A and B are shown apart, each in its own frame.
Chain A
Amino acid sequence: MNKWRLKTVGMCGTAILVLSLLNACAPPKGADQASSSKSSGSKEEIKIGFVSQLSGGGALYGKQMENGAKLAVDEINKKGGILGKKIKLIIQDDQANPSESVKVTQRLVTEDRINAWIGTLKSSDTLTDIGITSKQDIPSFVPVAVANSITESDYTNVYRNVANNSMQAKMFVDYILKKQPHKKLAIIAENTDYGRGLSEDFKSFFEKGGGEIVNVEYYNVGQKEFNDQLTKIKGEKPDGIVISGLVAEGALVLKQAQDLGMKTQWYSFGGFSGAAPIKLAGKAADGMIHTEYFTPIKGDKKIETFVNAYKTKFGDKPDAYYSAATYDAVNLYAEGVKKAKTLDNKKVNDALHSISNYQGVMGSISFQEDGQATTKVWMAQIKDGAQTVIFRPE
């Protein structure tokens, strides 16, 4: 009796402990995470639903997206809104969890009756979410997720104002073949759809352009040890190595390669760019060339205005594209509504498709039939611990 009771108590206790911990680690963020607009209660509001990861591992990037969106909404509302209506931003945390993402998007559509949707940090979550918004033709903006498939699914209400993976890979290959002496490259790629997708695109474009890929090595997200991959690559003696992955692992690849005495030209994509490689890999990152969607450079009025406004409002400098792209997405929607002169989804979608050469902070944007913007990527290089733009498209 006693023993059995103890067992039950123990089990319940454990269950409660585990559940409470699970709960503690993922606090549900409600819709009350207010918009910055103060226009309370007005029926005449334009509601934009925003979904991204705001807690857990990728929260840092989700927060930058949120800030970009808030800044744009504030600026528009200060100027009196669009068509005389203020914008209300409804922010939802999807914890980078597909089922959570679908749940909050569903709620935005059916309960909040949003006029436009913006999200998310991850391509896979974005793909399922736009499946929901497309049923009601809600204009949906994808400023950050870059998997090709998002704009290859025949949705007529989805817009991406950033280059997708294969555009990025193509432009990177063209740049390397034209401007750099390296014809024999190796790839070290994250073993995910992101890393594999990019590395396959890069490989096929690079080989078509006359270059040679000597080998492709994979690693898992969260991996810490890269000596095996690097030892194999070292044996092939490539002219340069392309990292097709994200910051945490990319930084370790650079550091461990340095420890293995490898001196080579490093290349990487947008997932491993910005200030983080410099901070995490230090000297080992010097000389690396990477693609970039946005760099807070001086001398461009549009960018300077954005960077200063962002700094004033949030205190830090936007050093990657997450905030800039989301800022542009809100403004693109406003542009569409202005052109359509109504909030009717179909008319706004028509207007958005007709946008051409809109000047955002990330450059000139025109949407193609499939919703993909014809944007270009920049090339940047890390020199003496600082990021410098070495190629900027017209």
Chain B
Amino acid sequence: MVEFAQTLVNGLVLGALYSLVALGLTLIYGVMGLANFAQGEFAMIGGFSAFFLVQEGVSYPLAVVIGFAVAGIIGLLVHLLAFYPLRQSNHINMMLSSLGVSLFLVNLAQYLFSPNPQVVKSPLSGESFNLGGIFISQQRVLIVVISFILCLATFLLLKHTKFGRSVQAASLDPDTATLYGVPTKRISFMTFILGVALTGIAGALLAPVYNVYPTMGISLTLKAFVVVVLGGMGNVSGAIAGGVIVGLIESFAGGYISTGFQDAIVFTVLFVVLILKPQGILTKVQGEKV
């Protein structure tokens, strides 16, 4: 029973993290049509900026906030250099460009910080809550809380503000959105920056739990893609729910089937979904477009 509860908690924590990264990925896909293979690298950027700042004596909470900003600023540069010039070309080129960005950022980090893992100290490091035999580290609780707040804030932002409506409209039908005054270019810039900054903060949050190293983003990108495909490409609530689902599948597959096949099981679920319901399990087919 305790083991079941612990597995459930493990899965939910993991899910919260996946949701946050997938949220950024799905926003960017929705508005720009870009399958951004460099998404995880922004977690790496967030992680390393937290590492660097904490080392320089900045307090951890402030380092997390700055990590959010640093990822956003680098996102702006990346958008200007790697994606904006390709906006007229097809999506495959943009995707290839994002692969290039991913390689570049990984190698830049290796050059700046060496390939070795680095430890980031958080005031919560090494502290755990014990709830009747179920352990959860305080840093993980922080990840869940902040991830929940950010997902909710992003959801409300999209649902109830002019910016949010513009993002939704631009992702559903960019031409029509333009006709109704939506500045789609500016919206695509802002969405990209928001999307990677969310992932950047995820990186700064998980740094004390997972350590930081240049290649840490790659597996995150893959997981985020699984989540986004499950939730429906470009579907925001799908990404949030999908993150939790993938976290739980992974955790229970590891706990009750085999840890050696954990990832294989997650990807099998993905293939089955792609075959049976390619638009994602969380996307309802709504009305027909004539």
**A residues lining the B interface (CB < 8 Å):** 3, 6-7, 10-11, 13-15, 17-18, 21-22, 24-25, 56-60, 191, 217-220, 222-225, 227-229, 231-232, 234-235, 247-248, 251-252, 255-256, 258-261, 276, 279-280, 282-284
Contacts of B237 in A (CB 8 A): none
In-complex Cβ contact of A18 among B89, B100, B116, B254 (8 A): B100
On whether A218 and B96 interact (CB within 8 A), knowing A7-B90, A60-B116, A259-B137, the answer reads: no
In the complex, chain B residues whose CB is within 8 Å of the CB of A261: 128, 130, 135
Q: In the bound complex, what is the Cα–Cα distance between A282 and B122 (angstroms)?
A: 13
CA gap between A311 and B213 in the complex, in Å = 27
Can you list 26 contacts pairing A with B, beta carbon distance less than 8 Å?
A6-B88, A7-B89, A7-B93, A10-B86, A10-B88, A11-B93, A13-B85, A21-B103, A22-B103, A25-B106, A56-B115, A225-B210, A227-B14, A228-B255, A228-B259, A231-B7, A232-B3, A232-B254, A234-B6, A235-B2, A235-B3, A251-B117, A259-B137, A259-B209, A280-B117, A280-B119
Q: Is the CB of B211 within 8 A of A251?
A: yes
**CA A3 to CA B259, docked complex, whole Å:** 50
Closest to A11 in B: B93
- Evaluate contact between B210 and A222: CB separation under 8 angstroms: no
A-chain residues with CB within 8 Å of residue B251 when the two chains form the complex: 227-228
Contacts of B211 in A (CB 8 A): 224, 248, 251-252, 280
Contacting pair B128 A224 (CB below 8 A)? no
Residues of A within 8 A of B254 (CB): 228-229, 232
With A and B bound together, what is the CA distance between A11 and B116 in angstroms?
34
> Which residues of A lie under 8 Å from residue B97 when comparing CB positions?
14, 17-18
B172 smallest CB distance to A (angstroms)? 24
Do A57 and B107 touch (CB < 8 A)? Answer: no
- Which residues of chain B come closer than 8 Å to A259, judged between CB atoms? 126, 128, 135-137, 139-140, 209
B110 CB-CB contact with A under 8 Å: yes
Distance A222 CA – B85 CA, assembled complex (angstroms): 33
CA distance A21 to B251 in the complex (A): 36
Given A21-B107, A261-B130, check contact A228 B3 (CB 8 Å).
Answer: no
Complex interface: chain B residues within 8 A of A247 (CB): 117
CA distance in complex: A387, B230 (Å)? 47
Of A25, A248, A260, the residue contacting B117 (CB under 8 A) is A248
In the complex, what distance in Å separates the CA atom of A283 from the CA atom of B125? Answer: 11
**Is the Cβ of A282 less than 8 Å from the Cβ of B255?**
no
Task: Output the least CB separation between A129 and chain B (Å).
Answer: 23
Measured CB to CB, the residues of B under 8 A from A are 2-3, 6-7, 10, 13-14, 82, 85-86, 88-90, 93, 96-97, 99-100, 103-104, 106-107, 110, 114-117, 119, 126, 128, 130, 135-137, 139-140, 206, 209-211, 213, 215-216, 218-219, 250-251, 254-255, 258-260, 262-263
B218 engages A10 (CB within 8 Å) = no
User: How far apart are A183's CB and chain B's nearest CB, in angstroms?
Assistant: 23
Max chain B C-beta neighbours (<10 A), residue from A60, A217, A231? A231
Please measure, in the bound complex, the distance between the C-alpha atom of A138 and the C-alpha atom of B270, giving whole angstroms: 50
Interface of A is mostly: helix
Across-interface contacts of B128 in A (CB, < 8 A): 258-261
A25: chain B residues within 8 A (beta carbon): 103, 106-107, 110
The majority secondary structure among interface residues of chain B is: helix
Closest to A8 in B: B89
Nearest B residue to A218, CB-CB: B260
**B116: chain A residues within 8 A (beta carbon):** 60, 248, 276
With contacts A10-B89, A220-B263, A259-B135 known, is A24 near B130, CB below 8 A? no
Q: Are A18 and B99 neighbours in the complex by a CB distance under 8 Å?
A: yes
- Which residue of chain A has the shortest Cβ distance to B219 in the bound complex? A222
* Option from B86, B90, B119, B259 in Cβ contact (under 8 Å) with A218: B259
Q: Which of A227, A256, A276 has the most CB of B within 10 A?
A: A227
Find out whether the CB atom of A21 lies under 8 angstroms from the CB atom of B104.
yes
Q: Which residues of B contact A284 (CB under 8 A)?
A: 126
Q: B263 contacts which chain A residues (CB < 8 A)? A: 220
Q: Which residues of A contact B259 (CB under 8 A)?
A: 217-219, 228-229, 232
Contacts of A223 in B (CB 8 A): 219
In whole angstroms, how far apart are the Cα atoms of A14 and B88 in the complex?
13
- B125 CB to closest chain A CB (Å) equals 8
Q: Which A-B residue pairs are the 3 nearest by beta carbons?
A: A228-B254, A10-B89, A259-B137
User: Are B219 and A24 neighbours in the complex by a CB distance under 8 Å?
Assistant: no
With A10-B89, A259-B140 known to touch, is A224 a contact of B6 (CB < 8 Å)?
no
